[in-house]
Amino acid sequence: MNQRFAEAATVVEAIDKALGRPTPRNEVFAEVKAIQEFLEWAIGDQLVVHKGKLGNFDFAAAVSTGPTLFVGEGNMSFSLALAKLAPRAAQDFVVTTFEPRMRVSLAAYQNAVKLTRIGAKVLHGVDATRLDRYFNATRFSAIVFNFPNVASRIPVYGHNPNHNLIRRFLRNAAQRLARNGRVIITVVDTPFYSGAFGLTAAAKFAGYKEPDVYAFKPSHFSGYAHANTLGGQSALAKYRNFRSWVFQLP
């Protein structure tokens, strides 16, 4: 489904040109995006891609095995919620945001203060696809990336940009994992997002074993409030089905 939409802008432009009615490119993408969002709303929850065959993933246990890195943490409410579930592990948390310090939200600032007070380390302006720049010698038992999103659906080299983000992130994260470490990526579970991220293929591309898929229940994490990239409606408000994909190296 996603590949068809990724090519839609080109097809629409070709038809308009053939009929002598050129359409501005930004209007074409707006139309395509509207169709995508309507179909996701209409059938997304009826076509659940993965059933979470292994139940709910035990995040509290995972972060208690050693140092944990959180990337793309937005308002940092998820890492703070986990710190409450696993207080002894919180001092080994490294919590990062893609946004620089001066651009984080008030909620993110407040949560950063709380995390720092309980011993976690907070960093801003961290690119999840370039972790070697910030953690050259550090190895993590768990690396957590909740709802990765580049806030664009304009194809890059024929792929949804989130497809490229995930592959670059996984390949880089592999170099930062401790022995038996795990990368956990949580995403919306709809046909569109499954195709856009291509997580099974991304695992193979980056050298991981086939990932395990678990159910993800936001309500299990008190105080967690997902913040969408560049604002906009939160995934937790728009969708009902989510999955955590767990990756390990051979």
pLDDT of 181 > 70? The answer is yes
24 in helix, strand or coil? coil
User: For the residues 222-229, what does the mean pLDDT come to?
Assistant: 80
What is the pLDDT confidence band of residue 90, given thresholds at 50, 70 and 90? very high
User: For the residues 82-95, what does the mean pLDDT come to?
Assistant: 97
User: Which range, 29-38, 48-57, 241-250, has the best average confidence (pLDDT)?
Assistant: 241-250
| 239: CB partners within 8 A, 6+ apart | 40, 44, 45, 188, 189, 190
For residues 109 and 239, which has the higher predicted lDDT (pLDDT)?
109
User: For the residues 124-131, what does the mean pLDDT come to?
Assistant: 96
| 249: CB partners within 8 A, 6+ apart | 174, 177, 181, 207, 208, 209
User: For the residues 230-240, what does the mean pLDDT come to?
Assistant: 66
Average predicted confidence (pLDDT) for the chain: 82
What is the pLDDT confidence band of residue 22, given thresholds at 50, 70 and 90? low
pLDDT at 240: 85
What is the pLDDT confidence band of residue 36, given thresholds at 50, 70 and 90? low
pLDDT of 231 > 70? The answer is no
Tokens of 183: 């990368």
pLDDT of 43 > 80? The answer is no
Give the domain ranges of the chain.
Answer: 2-43, 59-247
pLDDT of 33 > 80? The answer is no
User: For the residues 186-194, what does the mean pLDDT come to?
Assistant: 86
In CATH, the number for domain 59-247 is 3.40.50.150
pLDDT at 162: 83
pLDDT at 75: 93
Tokens of 239: 């969708």
State the DSSP string of 73-134. -TTSHHHHHHHHHSTTTGGGEEEE-SS-GGGS-HHHHHHHHHHHHTT-EEE-S--TT-GGGT
pLDDT at 24: 59
User: For the residues 97-117, what does the mean pLDDT come to?
Assistant: 94
User: For the residues 238-246, what does the mean pLDDT come to?
Assistant: 89
Percent of the chain with pLDDT over 70: 70
